Chain A
C-alpha cells in the first residue's frame, strides 16, 4: 500500500486507514469465499443433464425382426430414451435399418457424418443423399461423395427374442459415435468395404489408369 500524500495526516490516521483497509480486504475475501461456496455446487446444476442422467445408454426396442424385409433399408422412428415430458415431437428420432440377411442388420443414424443434416435413402439408386452440403453414401453407409470425411454413423445393436434392439441414445457426432461404440461403424471402416470402386484411382492391384 502507498503512503499518504497529505503530509498533514498523522501517524494515527495512517494506522487507522491501513487497519480499515485490512478489514475491507478481509470483507472482500469473505464474500469471495461465500460466493465460491454457494456457486461451486451450482456447476453441478448446469452440468446435471450431462453428468447425472444415463438413460441414453439404454437399449431401444425397434420391434420384431419381421418388420424389416431382407434386402431392404427401412426408415424407423423410436422414442429418445432420454426425455422430458415437454419434449414433444423432438423426442421422436428417426433411423435407417438395413437388413442384408436373416441375421445381418445395420442401423444407421439419419445424421450426415458431415454436419448432422438428415440424409434421405433412395432405394432406386441405392444411395443416401444429404440435402445440406451434398454428401452421398452407398447402401452400406460408406462415403460415396461430397464433404463427409467418413461413412454414416451406425448404432450398436443386438437381436434378442426376435426383436431388434439398438443403442441410440445420443446424437452421433465425430467424437460421440452413436451408441456405446462397441460395434464398429461400417462406413469408412476397413472391415466393410463397398463392393465397387468408389473413386478414380488406379485399378485395384495395378498401376493402370481406369480412365479411357
Chain B
C-alpha cells in the first residue's frame, strides 16, 4: 500500500468523513440541471472564497487607523511586490461577486427555484445578498479616502433621518459625534469579522439545503408544484432521469468558476486597483465624492427624488423591498415554475434590470451635479462672440464670472444641471430672461442679490444673442396685440 493511502486511511479511520461527503457528491441531480444556467451559485461561492483569501492577505498590511489607513493602501499599491494586484483582485472580486450574486438570484427566481420546498433557501439567499451589499459598502469605507469619508457622511445623513432616535443612531454608527478613527475601527470590525462570519455561516446553511433538498429541476410549462406530491415527483425525476452531481454535472461549475477567476485576474491586472483617491482630509472640500459602481443607482435616485419625498423613501422603501423579497416564496410558493407561464415575474425582473441600468448609467456622469470648475475652465465658444457689441461681450464675461457655466452648457461644455444655453433666446424673450436671472425658479437660484443692474443688463443682452442659426428669437405675442391696440409698447403690458 503506498504511503499516501496509509495516511488517508489513518485519517479517515478517525475523521469518518468519507461516507457523508461521498453521499453528498454523487447524489443524483435531474439531467437537465447539468446546464450552464446552473453555474452562478457555485461561482458566487468561489468568489466569496477569493474575497476571504485576498482579504486576509490585505489584512497583513492594512492599518485600520484613520491616521494611517490611507498610507497603508499607498504602500500596498506602490511599495510591496504585487500589493497592487491583491488590492485589485479584492476590488474586482467584490464587483464580480455582487454581479454574479445578482445574476444567480435572477436565474433562481426565473426558474422558480424559490418555490416549495426551497422557500427558506431563498430567504437565506436574500439575507446573503444584503450581506454582500453590506460587504461592498463597508469595504468602500475601509478604502479610507475622500469618497469613503463623504460616503460615511451620506450614510450618517440617512441614519439621521430616522424619527426620534436618528441623532443617537448617527453617533452609534460613527462611534462618536463625527467621522473619525472610531468610525473606521467600527467598520473594520464589521467588514472583517461580523459580516463575513455571518455570511460564511449562512453560506454553509444555504449549501446544506441545496444538497439535502436537491437542486431545483429545470422548469417545464405545466409541471405544477404541489406541496403534497412535489417531494415524490422530484425523487422520481432524479432517479429515472438523473446524473451523479460529481462528476457528470460539476464539471460545468468548475469550468465557469475558473473562467470567472480568470476574468477577475484579467480585470485586476489590466485596470489595476480602485483608488485610494484623495487623502481623507475633510478640510479638502474641493472633492466630488462618488459611490462605487453598485451604489450609483442609489446616487441617481437620491438626486431626483423631490425633497419632501426623500425621508419617507429612504426609511420606508428599503424595508418594504426586503420584506417583499422575503415574502415572494410564501406568496408564490407553489404552482408553475416555468417562465413561459409567469409573465409578471419575467416582466418584474426585466423592469427592475432596465431601471437599475438607466439609473446606473445616469450615475456615471451625474447630470444633476454642478461642475465646480466649468466657470473658469470651459470657455465661451469663439463663434458666439463674433459680431457682438461691447455690451454683449461684457455679458459673456458676466456669464463666466458668475459661475453660470457650472450648471449651464454652452457649445457642449459646462454643467448639465440647468438647460444648455445655446438656443436660450429661441424660447425665452428678453423680459423672461431678466425675470429668470433675477428671481430664479424651476430649480435655478435667484441672482438678484449677486448681480448689479449693469451686470444683469449685459448678461441678458448676451443671452438674447444665443439662438440657433437663423431661427427667430422668442417673442411675446400678447405684446404685439397690445402694441397694435394702444400704440404704446411697454407701459400697458406691464
Chain A residue at minimal CB-CB distance from B440: A198
Set of chain A residues within 8 Å of B403, measured between Cβ atoms: 122, 124-125, 127, 129
Residue pair B178, A138 in contact (C-beta under 8 Å): no
Set of chain B residues within 8 Å of A53, measured between Cβ atoms: 176
Residue pair B440, A82 in contact (C-beta under 8 Å): no
A-B CB contact pairs (8 Å), 16 listed = A49-B175, A50-B176, A80-B178, A82-B178, A88-B66, A89-B281, A90-B179, A94-B285, A118-B287, A120-B372, A131-B289, A133-B299, A138-B449, A145-B444, A196-B438, A200-B441
B369 at the interface (CB under 8 A from A): yes
Residue pair A132, B150 in contact (C-beta under 8 Å): yes
Q: With contacts A145-B444, A210-B435 known, is A116 near B150, CB below 8 A?
A: yes
Chain B residue at minimal CB-CB distance from A195: B449
In the complex, chain A residues 162-212 whose Cβ is within 8 Å of any chain B Cβ:
169-171, 173-176, 194-201, 210-212
Quote the shortest CB–CB distance from B380 to chain A (angstroms): 16
Report Cα–Cα, A212/B175, bound state, in Å.
54
Set of chain B residues within 8 Å of A194, measured between Cβ atoms: 446, 449
Residue pair A131, B302 in contact (C-beta under 8 Å): no
Quote the shortest CB–CB distance from A73 to chain B (angstroms): 13
A136 at the interface (CB under 8 A from B): yes
B170 at the interface (CB under 8 A from A): yes
Determine which of A119, A127, A132, A145 lies in contact with B450 in the assembled complex, contact meaning CB atoms within 8 Å. A127
Residue pair B182, A84 in contact (C-beta under 8 Å): yes
Q: Could you list 7 further interchain pairs (A-B, Cβ under 8 angstroms) beyond the known A133-B302, A149-B311, A169-B178?
A: A49-B171, A86-B65, A88-B68, A92-B281, A114-B310, A119-B285, A134-B303
A2 at the interface (CB under 8 A from B): no
A107 at the interface (CB under 8 A from B): no
Residue pair B182, A49 in contact (C-beta under 8 Å): yes
A126 at the interface (CB under 8 A from B): yes
Residue pair B302, A147 in contact (C-beta under 8 Å): yes
Residue pair A94, B449 in contact (C-beta under 8 Å): no
Determine which of B160, B401, B448, B478 lies in contact with A196 in the assembled complex, contact meaning CB atoms within 8 Å. B448
Chain A residue at minimal CB-CB distance from B417: A134
A148 at the interface (CB under 8 A from B): yes
Between B158, B174, B182, the greatest number of chain A beta carbons within 10 A of the residue's beta carbon is seen for: B182
Quote the shortest CB–CB distance from A132 to chain B (angstroms): 6
Binding site for B on A (CB under 8 A): 47, 49-50, 53, 56, 75, 77, 80, 82-84, 86-94, 110-111, 114-120, 122, 124-127, 129-134, 136, 138-139, 144-149, 169-171, 173-176, 194-201, 210-212
B338 at the interface (CB under 8 A from A): no
Set of chain A residues within 8 Å of B368, measured between Cβ atoms: 133-134, 146
In the complex, chain B residues 142-182 whose Cβ is within 8 Å of any chain A Cβ:
149-150, 153-154, 156-162, 166-168, 170-172, 174-182
A interface secondary structure, majority: loop
Mark contacts of B349-365 with chain A using CB atoms, 8 A cut-off: 1 yes-contact digit, 0 otherwise.
Answer: 00000000000000000
Report Cα–Cα, A114/B149, bound state, in Å.
16
Mark contacts of B428-472 with chain A using CB atoms, 8 A cut-off: 1 yes-contact digit, 0 otherwise.
Answer: 000110010011111111111110000000000000000000000
Residue pair B450, A89 in contact (C-beta under 8 Å): no
Set of chain B residues within 8 Å of A125, measured between Cβ atoms: 402-404, 445, 447, 450
Set of chain B residues within 8 Å of A126, measured between Cβ atoms: 449-450
Count the A-B residue pairs with Cβ separation under 8 angstroms: how many?
A: 245
Residue pair A144, B446 in contact (C-beta under 8 Å): yes
Residue pair B303, A133 in contact (C-beta under 8 Å): yes
Chain B residue at minimal CB-CB distance from A137: B445
Set of chain A residues within 8 Å of B445, measured between Cβ atoms: 125, 127, 136, 138, 144-145, 198
Quote the shortest CB–CB distance from B176 to chain A (angstroms): 5
Determine which of A89, A115, A120, A124 lies in contact with B286 in the assembled complex, contact meaning CB atoms within 8 Å. A120
Set of chain A residues within 8 Å of B447, measured between Cβ atoms: 125
Set of chain A residues within 8 Å of B162, measured between Cβ atoms: 175
Chain A residue at minimal CB-CB distance from B371: A131
Chain B residue at minimal CB-CB distance from A50: B171
Chain B residue at minimal CB-CB distance from A177: B167
Residue pair A110, B285 in contact (C-beta under 8 Å): yes
Q: With contacts A115-B302, A173-B159, A212-B476 known, is A132 near B154, CB below 8 A?
A: yes
Quote the shortest CB–CB distance from A170 to chain B (angstroms): 3
B305 at the interface (CB under 8 A from A): yes
Set of chain A residues within 8 Å of B281, measured between Cβ atoms: 89-90, 92
Residue pair A144, B439 in contact (C-beta under 8 Å): no
Residue pair A118, B150 in contact (C-beta under 8 Å): yes
Report Cα–Cα, A134/B308, bound state, in Å.
16
Report Cα–Cα, A122/B285, bound state, in Å.
13
Report Cα–Cα, A175/B402, bound state, in Å.
34
Chain A residue at minimal CB-CB distance from B406: A129
Set of chain A residues within 8 Å of B283, measured between Cβ atoms: 77, 89, 92-94
In the complex, chain B residues 36-89 whose Cβ is within 8 Å of any chain A Cβ:
65-68
B242 at the interface (CB under 8 A from A): no
Quote the shortest CB–CB distance from A89 to chain B (angstroms): 4
Residue pair B370, A131 in contact (C-beta under 8 Å): yes
B7 at the interface (CB under 8 A from A): no
Q: What are the 3 tightest A-B residue pairs by CB atom distance, in nearest-first order? A: A173-B160, A88-B67, A200-B441
Residue pair B435, A211 in contact (C-beta under 8 Å): yes
Set of chain A residues within 8 Å of B444, measured between Cβ atoms: 145
Determine which of B158, B181, B310, B442 lies in contact with A84 in the assembled complex, contact meaning CB atoms within 8 Å. B181
Report Cα–Cα, A110/B287, bound state, in Å.
12
Report Cα–Cα, A154/B397, bound state, in Å.
33
B412 at the interface (CB under 8 A from A): no
Residue pair A171, B161 in contact (C-beta under 8 Å): no
